[in-house]
Amino acid sequence: MSRLDQAVDDYLTVRRAMGFKLALAGRLLPQFVDYLNQAGATSITVEHALAWARLPINSTVGWWAQRLSVVRGFATWLAATDPATEIPPRDLLPGRARRATPYLYSPEDIAALLAAASLLRPKLRAATYQTLISLLSVTGMRIGEAIALDRADLDVRHGVLLVRLGKFGKTRQLPLHHSSVAALQDHLRMRDRLRPDADSPALLINTRGVRLAYGVVGHTFRQITQQAGLTPRTPSCRPRLHDLRHSFAVDTILDSYRAGTDMHQMLPRLSTYLGHANPDHTYWYLSAAPELLALAGQRLEDHLEGRS
C-alpha cells in the first residue's frame, strides 16, 4: 500500500466517523490514487487531478467537475500534513452542480396538494399521501426520514416524534403540535381498518402493507402536483417534495422575524430541529425568499436608525 493509498483510507475513515457517508468519494478516490501510482506521482498536483477528472473523455463536463470536486476535498484535507499537495481551484472546471431554486409552497398550494392526494385510489393510498404531505409540511423532515419512521417512533403521550439515524447519522426528537399528534392517530386507526393484516413496523405503508419506497413516493408526488395544477415557476424552480422542507424553514424564519424574535437564538434551534450538521446550512434559507430579505433589510434599517 502506497502512502497515498493509506491517506485515502485515513481520510475516508475520519470523515465517515464524523457522519459523512462519502459513497461517491469511496469509489472515486481509490481510482484517483491508482492513477497517480501508475503515473509515478507521490503527491497530488493540479495537472494530475485535472487530467484524471476529465476521464472518460466522452463524459459530460458536469461529471468531470464532480470528479474534480471529490479530489479537491481529499486534497484540502491532505494538504494539512503534506505541503507538496496542490489543491485544484474551484473554478478550474465549469459545470458545478447548482442548487435548485426552492419552490416555496403557499398555504393554498398545500391545500391543493392535499386535495389532489385525496383523489388517489385506493383509499389507503390517498390517506397515506395526505398524511405524508401534511407531516412534511409541519415538521420540515427529509423525505427519507419520514418514510423510515416506525409506529413506535410516535410518542403520543409526550407529543414527540423520534427521527432515528437521519442524515449524518444524527438522531433527534421533534415536538409536535397536539393537532398533528391527533391527525397521526386518526391515520393509524384508518390504516388499521383498511389493512388490518399489515405487520410492517412502518408508520406509513403502501397498499401492500409495506414501507413506502423512495422512488415510488417521488413519482406519485409528481402526479399529485400535476393534478393540483402546480407548474414550474422557472426552469430551475419546479415543485419538488423536498421543497416542503424549504417552505417549513422559510415560514418559521418569517414568523420569527415578524414576531421580533432574536434570530441568533432562534436559528440554532431551527437548525437542530431540521437535523442540520452545521447552523451555516440553516442560514442559507435566509436567501430563499424575497420576503425574508425584505424583513432582514427592514430590521437592519430599524437597528441603524435606533443607533443613530
103, 105, 257, 285: the catalytic one is 285
Please give the mean pLDDT across all residues of the chain.
Answer: 85
Spatial contact of 29 and 74, defined as CB atoms under 8 Å apart: yes
Question: Quick check: 21 pLDDT over 90?
Answer: no
d(CA 262, CA 212): 39
Average pLDDT (59-72) is 88
Per the annotation, the verdict on 177 as an active-site residue is no
Which of 48, 67, 72, 276 does the annotation list as catalytic?
A: 276
99 and 208 in contact (C-beta within 8 Å)?
A: no
241-255 pLDDT tens trace:
988 988 888 877 777
Task: Pull the grid cell for residue 188.
Answer: 393509524
> Annotated catalytic, 285?
yes
How many CB atoms sit inside 10 A of residue 28's CB? Answer: 20
User: Which candidate in 16, 125, 164, 242 is catalytic?
Assistant: 242
- Dihedral sign for Cα 223, 229, 234, 237, please: negative
Q: Which of these is catalytic: 167, 211, 222, 240?
A: 167
pLDDT, residue 8, reads 93
Residue 288 has pLDDT above 60, yes or no: no
Active site annotation includes 167: yes
Over residues 228-238, mean pLDDT? 88
The percent of residues in the chain predicted with pLDDT above 70, rounded, is 83
**Is the separation of the CB atoms in 144 and 214 below 8 Å?**
yes
Residues above pLDDT 90, as percent of the chain: 55
Q: What is the CATH number of domain 107-228?
A: 1.10.443.10
Read off the pLDDT of each residue in 163-179 and give the average, rounded to a whole number.
81
Spot the catalytic one: 67, 195, 245, 246. Answer: 245
Choice among 48, 67, 72, 142 that is catalytic: 142
